[in-house]
Amino acid sequence: MPTINTVSGPLDTAALGFTLMHEHILVQSPNLKENFAVMDREKEAKKAAQKLKDVQARGVKTIVDLTPGDWRDIPFVKEVVARSGMQVIVATGIYWEVPHFFRTLSTRTPDYIADLFVKDIDEGIMDTGVRAGIIKCATDETGVTEDVERILRACARAHRRTGVPISTHTHAASGVGLKQQDVFESEGVDLGRAIIGHSGDSEDLEYLRRLMGRGSYIGMDRFGLDQFLPTARRVATIKALCDAGYAEKMVLSHDASCYFDWAPAELIPAVVPNWHFNYIPDEIIPALRGAGVSEEHIRAMTTDNPRRIFERQGGY
């Protein structure tokens, strides 16, 4: 079997098991930790490790941490992985709020940026010894701006050079996943190597079928964020797509985080009480069964599809 880069080293893709394909260990605003002591790292590392142990006890074996390069903290993730024993795959890439460094057209070209991503994958992220196993890029409601397009093209070129998959952030309501596919396709990417993320925010079956019809997987990956789409409607959408033959093109997740600095810690459970790693194994899997989704389709979305995504490598 092929191997995939994880925080703990190369992992046989056959050992991935039940995989949450779009999560985060830590989301902390860029440059915050270098300038302000706003987080108790020891306390938060201990809490994060316990959260990973809790979801492991529910049968989840692997988490894909899609925090991009401008937001991530790999030393923190390494510490949490060491304490928890969770299999974690981390990403390279850039978020849709593109840092100014990458906006200088004359020198910060897609090829220049792709070189940085390739180094993260082939050699390791800074001096951590951790190699990225997936590429993350993002397009939000503002669409494919000039800066975002540069990052999308860089991600496509890094993907073609390394063979690791691409996973995205999208704004499903504006259909930008299709525009991401357009850019990837123009760069020669086999769209079957890309996961169009946050597609679960939409119940527009025609839009979702168009994404999958072009070959991509879709991320039904914001369970617990009912402000985008309530859980019952997410489950109904998955059921409809499974019935239509698309179970082998979907993956499940929450887009949750152990530590998330966009809001006070005490506010998050009050506003989004189900936005955590345990929600899918505790509530969503039973809800899918109750809706009539077969065990075969559930296994496809949680275990078989992630394995297929990571075991299909190279090819360019």
- Residue 188 backbone phi and psi in degrees, to 5: 85, 15
List helix spans (H) across the chain.
32-35, 41-56, 74-84, 110-122, 146-162, 176-186, 205-213, 231-243, 267-271, 279, 285-291, 295-299, 305-311
pLDDT tens-place string over residues 243-276: 999 999 999 999 999 999 998 889 999 999 999 9
- The reported pLDDT for the residue numbered 34 is 83
Q: Check whether 180 has a pLDDT greater than 70.
A: yes
Domains of the chain: 3-311 (3.20.20.140)
Confidence of residue 33 (pLDDT cuts 50, 70, 90): confident
Give the residue carrying structure tokens 């997410």: 234
Confidence of residue 278 (pLDDT cuts 50, 70, 90): very high
- Least confident residue range of 94-103, 153-162, 193-202, 286-295: 94-103
pTM above 0.85, yes or no: yes
Confidence of residue 316 (pLDDT cuts 50, 70, 90): low
Nearest in space to 64 (alpha carbons), one of 271, 221, 209, 217: 221
CA atoms in the 13 A half-sphere facing the CB of 233:
14
CA atoms in the 13 A half-sphere facing the CB of 146:
7
pLDDT above 70 covers a percentage of the chain that reads 99
Q: Is the dihedral of CA 288, 294, 298, 301 positive or negative?
A: negative
Confidence of residue 37 (pLDDT cuts 50, 70, 90): confident
What is the residue-averaged pLDDT of the chain? 96
User: What dihedral do alpha carbons 250, 256, 258, 262 form, nearest 10°?
Assistant: 150
Q: Check whether 315 has a pLDDT greater than 70.
A: no
Report the amino acid identity of residue 10.
P
What is the C-alpha radius of gyration for the chain, rounded to an integer number of angstroms?
18
